[in-house]
Amino acid sequence: MIFWQSLCVALVVTSVVLLMLWLVADRRQRRSRFDRTAADRVRVDLELSLAEQHGRLVMIRELQDIAVLSLARLITRAEAARYAAENDPSAAVRAATGLVDEGRVTLADLRRVLTLAREGESAVFTRPGLQSARALFGVMRDAGLAVDVAESGDRFPLKPAAELAIYRILQSSLENALKHGGAGTQVRVSFTWTQNGLQLLIDDDGIRAAARRAASNDTDFAARTSYTIDDDLRALSESLTGADLTQMRERTALFGGVFTAGTVPGVGFSVSAVFPTLRFHNGVHGVDLSR
């Protein structure tokens, strides 16, 4: 009897020790996963920062080249108008009208050059255009996002500043999806090109991704992703705020677009930026020409 009692005590002690060792190992593993996630985010930030610095320099050079060419054309047309005015004063008036319009576009380009340069002085961030989107998707996939990209319609050329705004909206949306949804979040990016505009849509399943990691079984997962009609109504009527959302909204408005963002109950988050007249945008909208 004493032997069996001792054996039971030994088994209980061994079980307790094994349980403690398992808890310690599990805690270390979770901490290791957390450290890796933090390191991945730091790496993502550094890679984006490097890519953006290069993109900023490229944009400044391109906008500066455009502005110089525009000024050269202005000077040529002004000289022609001066000579034409000697014989036909009305021709000078017509030429002056065209010079004013072209001058506003040139001034807007110069303002954008100054804006990019000033942003570069205050923060080490560059904002490349859509040509850098593929690299951005790759970085985000490496960080844990499952990014799916779809494009429809006929793409048309965009002004560099417009590409900059769209890229920023795209980048901020993906970074927020990674931040709130974590690794394993599925993101669908849709570019819909119309005859005159563009619709950018970014949908993620961050709520479901977080639930998948935390749920212990299917029932728990269903409970974590359940929602009611009140949740739907709240999502439709809520007014979300935050620095990232404010910046995305302002960048969309700068090019005559409409920005919306909100939670999709039980699923994740959705961001939409619609630019109805982006194709024929003159680059002056939203630029203060009085300074």
Q: Quick one: which of 174, 195, 172 has its CA closest to 279?
A: 195
Give the pLDDT confidence score for residue 282 in this predicted structure.
46
Between CA 277 and CA 169, with CA 116 as vertex, the angle to 5 degrees is 50
Give the pLDDT confidence score for residue 288 in this predicted structure.
43
> Could you tell me the two tokens for 218?
């299917």
Strand pairing class (146-152; 186-193):
parallel
> Could you tell me the two tokens for 211?
């639930």
> Could you tell me the two tokens for 4?
């069996």
Report the DSSP beta bridge partners of residue 204.
187, 269
In the chain, the amino acid numbered 147 is: V
Q: Quick one: which of 177, 228, 167, 232 has its CA closest to 198?
A: 167
* Residue ranges with strand state E in the chain: 146-152, 186-193, 198-204, 258-264, 268-275
Contact yes or no for 66/157 (Cβ under 8 A): no
Give the pLDDT confidence score for residue 289 in this predicted structure.
37
Token pair 């024929």 is found at 280
The Cβ of residue 146 has, within 10 Å, a number of other Cβ atoms equal to 15
In the chain, the amino acid numbered 135 is: A
Q: What is the pLDDT of residues 179-189, one digit of tens each?
A: 888 888 999 99
CA–CA separation, 44 and 120 (whole Å): 19
DSSP, collapsed to helix, strand or coil, labels residue 184 as: coil
CA–CA separation, 40 and 226 (whole Å): 30
Give the pLDDT confidence score for residue 132 in this predicted structure.
75
Give the pLDDT confidence score for residue 285 in this predicted structure.
45
Give the pLDDT confidence score for residue 40 in this predicted structure.
64
Instruction: Classify burial at 143, counting beta carbons within 10 Å of its beta carbon; exposed 0-12, middle 13-18, buried 19 or more.
Output: buried
Q: Which residues of the chain have pLDDT under 50?
A: 123-126, 282-291
CA–CA separation, 269 and 149 (whole Å): 16
